[in-house]
Amino acid sequence: MNIEEYQTPQSGDESSIQPESEEQPTNSSVEVVEASPPVDDSQQSPMDAVEVPEQPSPTELEPRIAQLLQQERDLKAEIAELQATSKTLQTQINQSQMAMGTMMQEALSQLEERKQTLQISVEQLERRQERIRNEMKTSFAGVSQDLAIRVQGFKDYLTGSLQDLAAAAEQLQLAPQVKREPEKPKVKVVQSRESQPEIIQFAPAQFEETTKKIRYLIDQYRTKPDYYGPPWQLRRTFEPVHAERVSNWFFQQGGRGALRSMGSRLQNILIASAIISILYQMYGNRLRPLVIANSPERLGDWRRGLQDCLGIGRPDFGPDRGVALFERPEAVAQKAERLQKAKQMPLIIIDDSEDKISLSLLQFPLWLAFAPDPRMMRSYEDDF
């Protein structure tokens, strides 16, 4: 068998096969293998031994697709859960904001109420501070007035002492003409005694109009008390026993005499206030009440009692206006004499603490003394 003859046609066959192989797709490794002739293992090259990777089959892709679908469903469920959680958190945030708003509003309301309460407290404290300042001022004024009264009393005492010394020196007969001078004050006193009683009289036979007015005012104070009347008008309850004492002083004693004490300084001040009120209705600002007591405490009782009964204030007390308070009868006598010279009307009121009445006070037309009752034991410390 000729080998060359056998191989030549085979090569022709391979040439005839190659065009067909070129028309077929190159990615089919199976068909290429089938078209190649069988070759011995001994004749294969190392490159021919490398295997080409195969594509997965549809059966192998199905589990993977199912796994991806399951992952997609899990992600969608997780997204839905996150969206629900987000809505819940948003709702909670809104509720928290509303609660915070309500809490802030309540806190602001409480702070506003507390602010108003504090403002009211501050206003009350300011009013109290102003009242304390006024009380301090008035108290200082009262203390100053008491000091002025004491200084005036001491001054009057020194004046009286100097006058007594001068009179004693004149009685030494160092000069014969000096004896006539002590008689001059006596002449003035006699003139005042003779002139004033003709002006002030309360006897019913001589002054009927004045008597009617006084009785009318006494009845008005007793039956129709006016607790909010004008100043210098009686503002307290007036009993028949008080009216009887006032009528006795006006009509039986003629405005110059002593009344038995009521047993209480407050009651005595009420009677004196009624007399002052009646005289003020008749003579107006010409009336000048002069109160004498032997201690500043009793004078303080008179000042408070007259303020309460007549509705007057501290400006109505002073040496040059309204009511004047004294501790020494000599100062009262000198003040009353100066008031008479100034065409004013002094009313001397003597507290029942005075054991003795100075004769110099009896020369004036209007004076009221309260005589202590020896049968009654009194304590003035509880009157005010």
pLDDT along the chain (384 residues), means of 10: 43 42 40 44 50 67 88 93 93 92 90 91 88 70 62 71 69 48 41 41 60 89 87 89 91 88 88 93 90 89 91 87 89 90 91 82 88 61 44
How much is the pLDDT for 13?
44
Region class of 177: left (phi > 0), else alpha (psi between -120 and 50), else beta:
alpha
How much is the pLDDT for 277?
93
How much is the pLDDT for 169?
67
Domains of the chain, earliest start first: 203-382 (3.40.50.300)
How open is the CA angle 275-279-283, to the nearest 5 degrees? 170
Q: Is the pTM of this model over 0.85?
A: no
Say how far residue 241 (Cα) sits from the centre of its chain: 44
How much is the pLDDT for 296?
87
How much is the pLDDT for 256?
87
> Is the torsion defined by CA of 297, 303, 304, 306 positive or negative?
positive
Region class of 236: left (phi > 0), else alpha (psi between -120 and 50), else beta:
beta
How much is the pLDDT for 210?
82
- With beta carbons less than 8 A apart as the criterion, state whether 260 and 376 touch: no
Residue 173 token pair: 């007969």
